Amino acid sequence: MSLELSLFRPKARALFGLDVSSSSVKMVELASTGKGDYQVERYAIEPLPKDAMVDGSISAPDVVEEAVKRALKRMSTSTRGVAMALPAAAVISKKITVPAGLRGNELEELVSSEASQYIPFSMDEVNLDFQPLGLSPDSPEELDVMIAAARKEKVEDLVAIAETVGLKVMVMDVDAYASLAAFDLIARQLPSRGKSTIALVDIGANTMRLTAMHNGEQVYTREQAFGGDMLTQNVMMRFGMGYAEAENAKRSGSLPEEYLSELLPQFMDSLALEVSRLLQFFFTATQFNKVEHVILAGGCSAIDGVDELVATRTQVDTIIANPFAGMMVSSKVRPQGLLADASSLMTACGLALRRFDPS
């Protein structure tokens, strides 16, 4: 996916990726080693309590701010520029066609005028950005343009969190696009080098999102309600724990044997079934009838054996996402820790890559 939309301009150089998701704050900083190769300079993950983020909106600013502070302290970086991302559900995207050959100001004015037809808010209430996609395949005299708009309040809420802890938001992206930027790194590792049909399945706390890519281009996306919180809720009910206690027990491996023998296998079976269902939706809604690879991302993909279970259920080669494979790692990063966390850092990695965008 080559398209990356920013609700701020210009693009910046000195920045790191800051992903505030429903379950945690994640930070990734990359450096260039030349010839398109990168080094992982540092990263940090700080969990968020339940309901600090609700449906992609910040419901407890003070709590989120404290988590960002803790993650920033662990990062120990002098960089203060960040790239952040809005949830895809908070962004209105639309491909439009305009006459080719327009100059910068003319194109901006026309795009703004055209965008007002598709945005159900006053243009004064939104941040608008656009990305030319190239000449229309149907007419060389027309230019395809992708527009993206988000309510200013959504953008300002994220910016406020960053600024409160001394950070400056240089780029505001869309989480789905940032993940796909990191996916490009993974596609290079595949035997087909991404020139095939691939399903990227991102399993978050509350939602599972499938994005299908064909020869490097997005052809389908779908979300459904399923995520790691279901396992946490089961732990809470079975063992009489609160949310935070259940989350900590999951991470520390301190749960009773019943968790490993019953709850976790049941959840993994459900996860594999939901991946299979998403693939069937994809096949039914498009002309495609197979995928060559399933790539699992998100915190739940780190569960031992989940890739094998999904592969068995779907009969498709399945791997765990690791956008950092092949990268050098600085002495400040524990390689084993990075390997364990890599699949949950897709969005943060994609945001960190914005540092290297051409001006």
Residue 154 CA, distance from chain mean position:
17
Cα separation values, 348 from 4, 82, 286, Å = 14, 10, 30
pLDDT band at 140 (very low <50, low <70, confident <90, very high): confident
Domain 190-320 coded CATH 3.30.420.40: yes
Task: Tell me the one-letter amino acid at 111.
Answer: V
pLDDT at 349 over 70: yes
Lowest mean pLDDT among 2-11, 165-174, 323-332: 2-11
One DSSP character per residue, 137-162 reads TTEEEEEEEEEEEEEHHHHHHHHHHH
Calculate mean pLDDT across residues 90-95. 86
pLDDT at 35 over 60: yes
Ramachandran angles phi, psi of 21, nearest 5°: -105, -175
pLDDT band at 67 (very low <50, low <70, confident <90, very high): very high
What does the pLDDT read at residue 9? Answer: 53
What is the rounded distance in angstroms from the CA atom of residue 230 to the CA atom of residue 335? 30
Calculate mean pLDDT across residues 57-83. 93
pLDDT at 359 over 80: no
* Digit-coded pLDDT (tens) for 247-298: 888 888 889 999 999 999 999 999 999 999 999 999 999 999 999 999 999 9
pLDDT band at 52 (very low <50, low <70, confident <90, very high): confident
Calculate mean pLDDT across residues 230-254. 90
What is the rounded distance in angstroms from the CA atom of residue 352 to the CA atom of residue 24? 17
pLDDT at 133 over 90: no
> How many alpha carbons fall within 13 Å on the CB side of residue 67?
24
The percentage of the chain sitting over the pLDDT mark of 90, rounded to a whole number, equals: 57
Both structure tokens of 237: 């009910």
What does the pLDDT read at residue 3? Answer: 41
Q: Which pairs from 47-52 meet CB under 8 Å and 24+ separation?
A: 47/23, 47/247, 48/20, 48/21, 48/22, 48/23, 48/24, 49/243, 49/244, 50/229, 50/243, 50/244
CATH fold of the domain at 16-88+153-184+327-356: Nucleotidyltransferase; domain 5 (3.30.420)
pLDDT at 1 over 80: no
What mean pLDDT is reported for the chain? 89
What does the pLDDT read at residue 137? Answer: 83
Residue tagged 């592969």 (tokens): 311
pLDDT at 5 over 80: no
What is the rounded distance in angstroms from the CA atom of residue 299 to the CA atom of residue 344? 5
Sheet holding 37-47, edge to edge: 168-174, 81-86, 16-20, 24-34, 37-47, 328-329
What does the pLDDT read at residue 4? Answer: 45
Domains 16-88+153-184+327-356 and 190-320 alike in fold: yes
Domain ranges of the chain: 16-88+153-184+327-356, 190-320
Radius of gyration of the chain (CA): 21
Are 85 and 347 in contact by the 8 Å Cβ rule? The answer is yes
203, 218, 220: which is closest to 279 by C-alpha? 220
What does the pLDDT read at residue 160? Answer: 94
pLDDT at 114 over 80: yes
Helix (H) or strand (E) holding 135: strand 126-136
pLDDT band at 7 (very low <50, low <70, confident <90, very high): low
pLDDT at 116 over 80: yes
What is the rounded distance in angstroms from the CA atom of residue 134 to the CA atom of residue 313? 40
Are 294 and 314 in contact by the 8 Å Cβ rule? The answer is yes
Both structure tokens of 325: 């494979």
What does the pLDDT read at residue 337? Answer: 93
Are 183 and 296 in contact by the 8 Å Cβ rule? The answer is no
